[in-house]
Chain A
Amino acid sequence: MTQMVRNWDRDVVEEFIKPESQQKSPEVFRETHVEIDKIRAEILRPHSGDDAFVTESQFRDAVLDSDLKDDNRIFIVKGEVGSGKSHLCQWLEYEINGYDEGEGTDDEHVAIHISRSNTRLDEILEILHAPIDKEYEEVNDISSLDPEDVADFIIQGLHTFYKGQGALRSFDLEEFLEPRSNADGFRTTLVENIEEYQDSVESEGQEQDIKEYLLSREDYGHICLSAFGKTKREDDVYPVVRRAVHDLLTRNIGIEDFKRELEDISEAYVEEGKRPVLICEDLTTFSVLKDDLLDHIFELSSGHYDVIMGWTTGWERENIDDALSTSEDSLTYMKQRTQGYLSMTDDNGQAYFLEGRSAPVVLVKAYLDAIKEHSEASAEVPEGTFDSVYPFNEAFIRHVYANLVQDGNLQQTPRILLVHVIAECLTSDVAPFEAVQNNSYVRQRPYLIGINEHSTPCLELTQWYALKHRGRLWLPTEVFDAFGVDTHGAAEKDGNVFFDTSFAAGDVTVIEREPGAEPTPERSDTDDKDEADEEPEEYESEDVEEETDGEDETEGEDEEEPPGPEPEVEVPPEDYREFQSWLMDGTEYASADRFRDGVVATLERWHDPTRLANENSTARNTTGIYFDRGSEPPVVIRGADSPASMSFEVPHGTENEELYRQMLHYGYADSFEDDANFDKLRGWATDKVVEYRSRMRRDIEGHLPEQMTVEEFVVLAHFLVMNIGKGETELSSELIFEEYRLEETSPLSYQSDVGIELPRGLEGAFDRTSNHTGDIGSLARGFFLLKKNVVDHERLNEAIKSVSENLNSYLSGLSTTSIDDLADAYRIGTTRNNSKKGFGKIVEDFSDLAGELEKVEQQVDVEDLREETDHFRRFHHLSHTQEELAELYDEMENALGPLNVTHRQKWREIGQLLNDSDSDLGLGDFRSTLNKIEDVKADDAISSIALLHEYQRSLNESAAWEVYEVFAEMVEELEKTEGSKVGDFRHQVESSTEFEVFRDARDSAQQTIGGCTNE
């Protein structure tokens, strides 16, 4: 907790610092008045010299340069709200009328000051009449009137006096005034506006919210749209209607003709030998009388006033064109008729007279001196240490002033500085550097010293108070003592505390001053023309490094400092401050987007962050698994963004300032700073990316069978389709790079004619996976190739070995695996942008396939195949040669011949084949395949599928199968016919099986068949 000794009374602060100049007593005003020594004068007559800027005295002298009967003389003073217009007007009033009764410049001039708070028309009339002895009729108080009645009165008046008159001759007033139910009817609008006007008059003392017109151009447009179906922006009609409305209202409250009234008043002044100086601090105050007022005064010969008219820059921009009922360019018209056209502020809203760097300090000092003077409280404070503006210092005031904002825009005006910052600080319980932290009128600036090394009070104190010398920040130790702030290990020397400038300080202004040197000289010498001629000094708002401006103060000692390249893009100080807050406590970070951009850029600088594949591969266009959600790698700034799984989390922490600052900088400048430690950025990115990939892998592998890696899944998936497609049973690196194809030997080929029933779902499951065979192949290349033609032997070997060893458990594991909660964002592709296909879908389809293969294992019995091939076995004899078979065929054909059943084409073909000595029946293959079917122990799906392949292949390749098929048919045909011979044939053919099985039977069968051939 910081402390602060007060040498002022808080209640005195309120006496001296008030929002309106008029609220102050003349003494207070005089005491705190700081000369307004810089006003831009586009026009000022009379004024000697051609200087663009004048002082308040020169302005006053010009105003007072009039004789009793001179025509109206007009001086326009414009400026931002709070830029000192009313202060200037107040000063002028005191200058003319005197600070005390009876004083005054001369006997003739008398100031009539209508301040911004004088919004009541009766009040205005009263002020106008005050210095003279003239009877006038009291007027009604506008707020006492019933808006509905007034509106009706006005409508009635318009009908009666204006219809078809002048500019309204061709205007359908009837239609315009027609009551309408919607909000855009004339009457509804008028009632609303009168109510608003009444409200604004009631709430005196407020600025800027007096109802300007009872009918704005916008209102007029809306009403026209309802009445005529189009927004008639007929320029010549609107001012006339508005004027009529205003005239009728003023008449309603008892002012028959204000213009006339002004003329009469002028006459009265002349009669009394007085020259009225009418000071209209803010023209809008006149509201409905404004038209008359302007008409009168710009008719220069109609009166004898000196008029000072103030308005804000914003008002001029938006309303000047409608201000006069002249069709000319109003502003030009006015300028041509004025004696003065002056501006208090520049285009950025900054008061000219506070432009000099120390001017705000002088202003604050004037107030502080007065406040302290009038306070009872007294305390020993080191005023000198605080540049005589305790509890502030020069740096504090200048930085605060440079960062004044209202509604988010820079608004460097005395009122905001004094009322909203200085008074706030002086009445606060905490020290100023703490009080401004949450002041919405002060744009935040970054901490200047390492946020990791110092306490918050120390950061905040140096943030606003610190001075710079030779690249280091410093402040007198007394300043820290005064607020009870611990300097925490910072270097102390000769009564000053020194800090290393944190890298942030390069971007923001810090006042350059040598320890022990005087503060920036005050701009007391206002007569110095040369200084007034200087270019306006640049301010923090433009983020200009002041270091190079500091030469005057430090007499060239800065030369030793390297000039440092001018950074082209910088982080706006308020964003940087927000970033620092986030670093410190991890919450609230509205401008996090830029930082996030930088984080993404860092991650992508040396890595493809969300890709999972062989990280060492340099093969081009290989496939990997990407986590693809959103348009860029998912980065979550912890505290600022809502948490999301599978994202790159960036935690806060002051220790990361240096590193993160680079990323922040990148977000604004699209580049890292030249002096960034790139190894740190690279190391950070590497740690993040590898950790992220490890999470991707864990996440994915968590959805695969236990122990199975992504690589093993790829190997297994490829193996399964190669088994079904090609009948492969051996896993090898060759197989992994072999392309998948569905061969016609596959039991799932449409050409398959193996009579084994497969699980009903197998075909569908396989069809779905066969959509992925290309992806599996490319994933295999993505994970197992180091280069187009170089294999990552170690990785591949490991996967093959593991899949081979765990084939059964992996298959059953895969069949029950669920990818329901595997993020859809895992997609495969060669780049993040082209990754479209969901990896989960692939796993899911292979899981289904594995399930069907499990069924193959359960349902498909090799015994079935043995049964199916039984009849081949029955007819086949080991010693059968083509010759023997041909003879057997002939014999059977002969036997069948008379029965007239030998017409079958197929039989004849077989007969020809058998009798063609060049043909190859494939008896050996037939035999070995039969044996395989007989012997094999195919108790798993992979072997079963492979066996079916083998059987199909043999069927396709070896004619022997057909031969025996035909024999079987022939025997069957013979059986159908009567006759003992048939039995013989059957016996002859069938006995071959017995031969094979039973040794004894073989002998006799051999005899039989042998006998047959010998016959």
Chain B
Amino acid sequence: MSDYEYNTSKPEKLLTGYGTVRGAELKSIYTEIEPMTPLSQIENRFGRPSSSGPETDHIDNCLRFLRTIDMVEQTGEDVLNPMNRDIFPGFELSFEPKLLHHVRQQTGKQSHLAAIYEVAVQEISSDTGHYGVRRVSVDDLVIKVDRETDYDLEWREEKILMWTNLFAPLGAISFSPDHDEILLSPSRAMLHELLSHHQRHRANGNSILAALEWIDGDFFPAFSRTGGQPAVHVGVADVLESLVADGALSLTGMSDRSEVVDLPMGIDNSQTPADYTIEAAPDRPSYWYPLERSERRYEA
């Protein structure tokens, strides 16, 4: 694994300050950026045309955000280059987990965006066990994040909303504004992709503990409890259960193994599985990333 490289000249603005930045345009813009891509090319393609040329304000916002999380760098000559393309040699990550990875790599104050997710998964306890909760309201999360983190900033609803609005289309969570409900289950596509990469390309490929530790450390929090036997968050467990039900995953318990995870419920006949085998995912919208769920892709 090549080292993660931090952008040496990046904007100072807080990540949660990019309240209007969304997954769809980040993905489109990022995907367009090859080495030595002129800024004007991006602006011309994605800026809404107007009588005075393309609208560039929001494009610039997106690029600043991507620069802040070390996905893109910009030279003095207004040329753009992608960064950290090969940090996982051997396989290419989709944009969605890649962005999560970059958010998770941020240090200092800018780690606050990833911290929201951590608090949601690790710090909200349920009445029925140590596996966290499936759903949380924005209000509750504001309070919880304010209480559980120690950043020198004022947590407001807008910051949490920035996180939900950014992460939901990426398939990290879901958000139902009408119900003020954040669903803390990643998309099946995300979990399936990461479990596949892990199985094929990483040490201890078959270990579900190793896989979830990798995911938890590099992408998004998967454990509601990390001390002792790691407990899989119920939102993640739900998705594992769906994958198993659809034949895309099998879990195996081994009585002689201690490297196991603790599931909130028995899945595939085991509540403390050790190994997993990932199979091809069904070709259904529920297995596509949210941004890929166009009906145009649907084959009747």
A residues adjacent to B (C-beta < 8 A): 562, 565, 604-606, 612, 615-618, 674-680, 682-684, 686-687, 689-698, 709, 733-734, 737-738, 785-794
Contact = CB atoms under 8 A, between A and B. Distances in A.
B20 to A, nearest CB: 8
A295 B285 CA distance: 81
Interface string B38-56: 0000000111111000010
Contact of B286 (A612, A687, A709): A687
Contacts, number: 124
A679 B185 contact: yes
Given A565-B127, A606-B174, A698-B300, A787 B58 contact: yes
A807 B295 CA distance: 25
A680 B296 contact: no
Nearest to B27: A616
A787 B300 contact: no
A342 B47 CA distance: 86
Nearest to A738: B49
Interface in B22-42: 22, 24-25, 28, 32
A811 to B, nearest CB: 24
Contact of B285 (A604, A686, A698): A686
A615 B47 contact: no
12 contacts: A616-B24, A677-B238, A677-B242, A678-B135, A678-B185, A679-B239, A693-B295, A696-B295, A787-B25, A790-B46, A793-B32, A794-B28
Contacts of A677: 238, 241-242
B8 interface: no
A606 B46 contact: no
Nearest to A739: B51
A678 B134 contact: yes
Given A679-B235, A791-B47, 18 more contacts: A565-B127, A604-B178, A612-B295, A615-B294, A618-B165, A677-B242, A680-B241, A683-B188, A683-B242, A686-B285, A690-B285, A691-B295, A692-B295, A694-B298, A698-B300, A737-B50, A787-B24, A789-B47
A785 B55 CA distance: 12
Interface string B257-300: 00000000000000000000000000011100001011110101
Given A677-B238, A684-B286, A792 B28 contact: yes
The interface centre, meaning the residue of A612, A696, A734, A787 with most chain B CB atoms within 10 A of its CB, is A787
A851 to B, nearest CB: 29
A791 B238 contact: no
Contact of A790 (B59, B179, B235, B238): B59
B183 interface: yes
A882 B188 CA distance: 77
A786 B24 contact: yes
Nearest to B264: A675
B241 A790 contact: no
A621 to B, nearest CB: 15
A788 B48 CA distance: 8
A338 to B, nearest CB: 55
A788 B55 CA distance: 10
Contacts of A618: 22, 24, 165, 169
Given A677-B238, A679-B239, A737-B49, A616 B169 contact: yes
B176 interface: yes
A686 B293 contact: yes
The interface centre, meaning the residue of A604, A679, A683, A695 with most chain B CB atoms within 10 A of its CB, is A679
Given A788-B48, A793-B46, A605 B176 contact: yes
Contacts of A696: 295
A671 to B, nearest CB: 9
B107 interface: no
B49 A733 contact: yes
Contacts of A691: 285, 295, 298, 300
Contact of B293 (A612, A615, A617, A737): A615
B255 interface: no
- Could you say which interface size class chain B belongs to? 35 or more
B128 interface: yes
Contacts of B174: 606, 682
B57 interface: yes
A790 B176 contact: no
A659 to B, nearest CB: 10
B55 A789 contact: yes
A45 B185 CA distance: 70
B286 A686 contact: yes
Contacts of B300: 691, 694-695, 698
Contacts of B179: 605
B185 A617 contact: no
A792 B45 CA distance: 9
A606 B25 contact: no
Contact of B183 (A565, A682, A698): A682
A664 B57 CA distance: 47
A791 B48 contact: yes
A359 B45 CA distance: 82
A736 to B, nearest CB: 8
A676 B185 CA distance: 12
Contact of A793 (B45, B242, B294, B296): B45
Contacts of B241: 677, 679-680
Contacts of A612: 295
A733 B20 CA distance: 24
Instruction: Return the 4 tightest CB-CB contacts between A and B, nearest first.
Output: A683-B286, A693-B295, A690-B285, A694-B298
A865 B135 CA distance: 71
Contacts of A689: 285
A697 B49 CA distance: 27
A790 B58 contact: yes
B295 A679 contact: no
B28 A793 contact: yes
B90 to A, nearest CB: 28
A678 B185 CA distance: 8
Interface in B41-80: 45-50, 55, 57-59, 62
A738 B51 CA distance: 8
Nearest to B165: A618
B24 A788 contact: no
A709 B294 CA distance: 14
A606 B185 CA distance: 13
A928 to B, nearest CB: 26
Nearest to A796: B45
Given A679-B242, A737-B48, A690 B295 contact: yes
Nearest to B284: A687
A733 B298 CA distance: 26
Contacts of A794: 28
A733 B43 CA distance: 13
Nearest to A677: B238
The interface centre, meaning the residue of B25, B185, B245 with most chain A CB atoms within 10 A of its CB, is B25
Interface in B94-137: 127-128, 134-135
A733 B54 CA distance: 10
A790 B48 contact: yes
A791 B50 CA distance: 12
Contacts of B57: 789
Contacts of A562: 128
A38 B20 CA distance: 72
A564 B194 CA distance: 35
Nearest to B286: A683
Contact of B45 (A678, A683, A791): A791
B35 to A, nearest CB: 19
A794 B297 CA distance: 14
Interface string B149-171: 00000000000000001000100
Nearest to B179: A605
Contacts of B295: 612, 615, 690-694, 696-697
A692 B295 CA distance: 8
A676 B49 CA distance: 46
Nearest to A671: B179
B42 to A, nearest CB: 9
B183 A697 contact: no
B169 A682 contact: no
B289 to A, nearest CB: 10
A654 to B, nearest CB: 14
